[in-house]
Amino acid sequence: MSKRRRKEPGTSRPTSGKEGSASKPLATTSHGGPKDIASLGMATLNAIAAELGLPMGIVRKVLEADPSLIEAFGAIKAESSGTAEGELPSAMTGTSVGARPGESAPTESSPAIAEGLLVDLQSPHARLFVPETRPRCCQIEGSQAVKTPGMFTIEMAQYDIRIYNSSSQQITRIWGDPHVNENGGGDDWHFGNNSTFVLTDGTKICLDTEETSPGVWLVHGIDIIAGNDRYHFGTGGEAGLTKDGNEWDKSHADAANDVSAGIFAMKSDGTWAKQGKDGHFYDVQDESWEDYLKTGDVTGDNSQKVEINELQQHSVLYDHLPDYVEAPRGGEWDKGPDGGSQFETMKLQVPVNRPKFVQFPDSNLVQTPLGYTVEMRGMEILIWDLQGKRITRIWGDPHVNEKEGGDNWHFGGNSTFILPDGTKIQADTEPISSGLWVVVGVDVILGESRFHSGTGDKEGMHTDGKEWDKKHSDADNREDAGIFALTPSGEWAMMGRDGHFYDINEETWGAYLNDPDVDLDSRKRVDITTQQEFAARSDQLPIEMIMPAVGEVHEAELPAEAGAMRALLEELSSLISPERFNLIRDQEPDLLPALAVDHQLAEYVAQMPMPTLRLLLEHAPGLIVKAPSDKAPADAIWPRPEMVGLPEPTPWWS
């Protein structure tokens, strides 16, 4: 969903151009004062530790990690020579976390957090607050300011946003229609539609823009998010600090599906990187205003991949992660489900007996936990369901046939196709002529298992799935490449610039050659399964993080209120037929809670033929978190993997 809001009536809009808003000349400032911890003195250090409620060792560790904080505290100390020993000056105790202008100073029963040291290493919860006294670094008369967990100061005025580091140095200015000045310099690059800037402490600066003339935009609304804190400035909402950051972030896209928009992450040197189509970040190339107007897009340097930190990763991915995945603590992620997870049952298998429905006698085959068979031969990839119904054909240079029809759409560069159980089918392509590509290699990945077909590696099953996934991007940063997810209808959706998935517009081969890109319909957003969401971002998450198995429900996803699960099950009964509901209740009742909280998975079940569902419930151990039946029918082709915590069983197909 877009962050766009309606412009409030009566608000004025300047003419486009590069004048910006009236302000003081750009400058950097310095507090002056001590440059090392010893110069602060024990009295100041003790007062800081007492006010924050942190051990002295943590205070020292934070100051050692960011020496610029020492200078900031030193300046406050210099201004507070009348303060009693062991007591913090008023500048450091005047505003509590989340305080708004006009609120009273904290009392002994509600201690404040010091302005200078905002990161509590023992807590994963980010916070914003409004300084009671105007920060000295602010340069624009009448502006508003907010401070972030990483000691950044964000100054906001009409059509002018300035970001200062903990030493009060201006590191970014976003102004005008809109231009981005990095590190206190002149215009470096430009953007247009709704975009988000992520600071190194994970704070998100979400900018809502409106088009003033073709290709020219102005920022009208600003939302700054850290944890559950959100500060709004400008049109489109109530101004000030509110406690709805998580909910707001989940319900608003980080960027528009427009080449002029993007998700940007601050680098350690104060410059910016842009998220590419593969989900990774790349250095933003400098561009003149004239060149930007010709193309209307923000150019990333694909040769300059940028690694962002864990806090930024969490913020960028937050819209798409389950609610129970908390922000990193001390740089360490919550690794997902607990040790009882049955994720190990989620793996790929090579069938011993070739299914009769496959098209080629000499093709490579691999099967997935939800019963899909992926057939690979030469330049062709075929995807079948458990009963042998063709779901997708990828062939030629390359064309995509959805279900059993003809060509629906086309692509070119390296791309990834994700099945509902989280299996990734990565197509490695090579150009054969200008604008024409063919598939030369395929890697099918699920967890640690990886099956390779074609050129580029040894054909067959490998056990390096996670490592391989981390090292290889899911898609080229090209308009003719993408990350795609299979929907219950058997059609494919494509990941947009905002990280959500959208329906793909069908296109003739001739139309594609005239404009070689994959066209999505930004009006038709598509929901995908929990496993697909995870797989689409698995190469950006810590390698230790575990994808939940199909049918597994995290305890945080279960409703706590009495009677709530009954209500969810009643809602589920309206999504799937009574015949299917009763079959699952009788054969695999443990699956019902998973379907009740994951309606997208329930939709796949609702559209699944009854014979397929029966076969899956009885013979797909990767689907249900429990031991499978011991005996399979004579015509079964389903492989049986080992179960976690149990000795590996004798395969029934041997």
For 244-282, write each residue's pLDDT tens digit.
998 999 899 899 988 899 999 999 888 999 998 888 899
- Round the average pLDDT of the chain to a whole number and report it: 78
- The DSSP code for 113 is P
- The DSSP code for 411 is -
pLDDT at residue number 106: 34
What Rg value do the Cα atoms of the chain yield, rounded?
27
Residue 645 has pLDDT above 70, yes or no: no
* Least confident among 22-26, 28-32, 64-68, 176-180: 22-26
What's the rounded mean pLDDT across residues 172-189? 89
Question: Which residue do the tokens 């945080």 mark?
Answer: 556
CB distance 105 to 115 below 8 Å: no
pLDDT band with cut points at 50, 70 and 90 for residue 332:
low
Q: What ranges make up the beta strands (E) of 148-253? A: 153-157, 160-164, 170-175, 179-182, 187-190, 195-198, 204-213, 216-226, 229-234, 240-242
Question: Which residue do the tokens 């899911």 mark?
Answer: 474
Q: What angle do CA 247, 251, 257 make, to 5 degrees?
A: 145
Alpha-carbon gap, residue 594 to 552, rounded angstroms: 6
Read off the pLDDT of residues 509-537 as tens digits, 9 standing for 90 and up. 999 999 999 999 988 999 998 889 989 98
pLDDT at residue number 345: 59
Alpha-carbon gap, residue 402 to 489, rounded angstroms: 10
Domain parsing of the chain, residue ranges = 37-93, 144-320, 348-537
CB distance 421 to 368 below 8 Å: yes
CB distance 37 to 63 below 8 Å: yes
pLDDT band with cut points at 50, 70 and 90 for residue 66:
low
pLDDT at residue number 524: 92
Backbone angles phi, psi at 471, to 5 degrees: -85, -15
Alpha-carbon gap, residue 509 to 408, rounded angstroms: 9
Three-class secondary structure of residue 290 per DSSP: helix
3-state secondary structure 422-446: CCEEEEEEEEEECCEEEEEEEEEEE
Read off the pLDDT of residues 614-628 as tens digits, 9 standing for 90 and up. 877 776 544 444 433
Which residues are CB-contacts of 67 (< 8 A; sequence separation ≥ 6)? 35, 36
Residue 646 has pLDDT above 80, yes or no: no
Which helix (H) or strand (E) element contains residue 256? Answer: none
pLDDT at residue number 91: 35
Which residues are CB-contacts of 106 (< 8 A; sequence separation ≥ 6)? 93, 95, 96, 99, 112
Reading the block at residue 472, the tokens are 């290889």
Alpha-carbon gap, residue 289 to 331, rounded angstroms: 38
Q: What angle do CA 407, 409, 411 make, to 5 degrees?
A: 120
3-state class percentages of the chain: helix first, strand second, coil last, to nearest 5: 20, 25, 55
Q: What angle do CA 137, 141, 143 make, to 5 degrees?
A: 75
Which residues are CB-contacts of 243 (< 8 A; sequence separation ≥ 6)? 98, 228, 229, 230
pLDDT at residue number 640: 37
Residue 459 has pLDDT above 90, yes or no: yes
From residue 366, how far is each of 14, 442, 484, 535 by CA, in Å?
60, 12, 19, 18
pLDDT at residue number 197: 97
pLDDT at residue number 334: 54
Which helix (H) or strand (E) element contains residue 52? Answer: helix 42-52
The residues that bridge with 211 in the sheet, in sequence order, are 217
Reading the block at residue 211, the tokens are 């088009």
What's the rounded mean pLDDT across residues 45-58? 65
* Least confident among 103-107, 228-232, 335-339, 406-410: 103-107
What percent of the chain shows pLDDT beyond 70? Answer: 73
DSSP assignment of 591-604: HHHHHHH-HHHHHH
pLDDT band with cut points at 50, 70 and 90 for residue 10:
very low
